[in-house]
Structure formats: structure tokens, C-alpha cells
Amino acid sequence: MVVEKGIDFDSLFSGKSSVSKASSDKVLSCMFLDDVLCSFRKSEKFGVMDRCMKCRHYEEFLREMDEEDEKVMDEIDRMRRYEPRG
């Protein structure tokens, strides 16, 4: 998780945020993993940044997508093996 200095995440999650108005009103989730907070995103509309491609969360996202693709392809292969030939 990328953490911005000056944010008390315990109070942020408890609803008693001590985040000043000088920093963002809320910390947004990572572009790739919803359960990861990213202090670099400043807007919901903000797209993928160059720094995202070097982030360990992006690598984790790619690894998860590769695993999912592998499962789908294995299922397709299994279905083709048992497909009746007509």
C-alpha cells in the first residue's frame, strides 16, 4: 500500500478522519486493486499513471489476470476434449 504522510488510516477507516483539507478529502483505491489505497490518485476520473506500471500492485494485478486466463484456457481445453464430434 502506498501511504501519504500525514494521514491517520486508523481514524480514516473508523469514520473519524484527521485528514486536513489541505490533503485530499478521501484516499482513492488503486486503479488495479480495489482493496488497495493509493495516495497518488487525486480524482475518480484520474487514469493510469506511469508510476502505476512500476508498482507492485500492478504486478500483482498482472499475476492474478494471468492465473485467471490460465484457468479459462484450461476449462476451454477440457470442454473441447469431451466435445462430441458430429
Q: With contact defined as beta carbons under 8 Å apart, do 45 and 20 qualify?
A: no
Per-residue pLDDT tens digits for 66-77: 999 999 999 999
pTM over 0.85: no
| C-alpha to C-alpha distance for 26 and 59, rounded to whole angstroms | 25
pLDDT recorded at residue 67 = 98
pLDDT recorded at residue 13 = 56
Mean pLDDT in consecutive groups of 10 residues from the start of the chain, 86 residues: 50 50 68 88 82 92 96 95 76
pLDDT recorded at residue 19 = 44
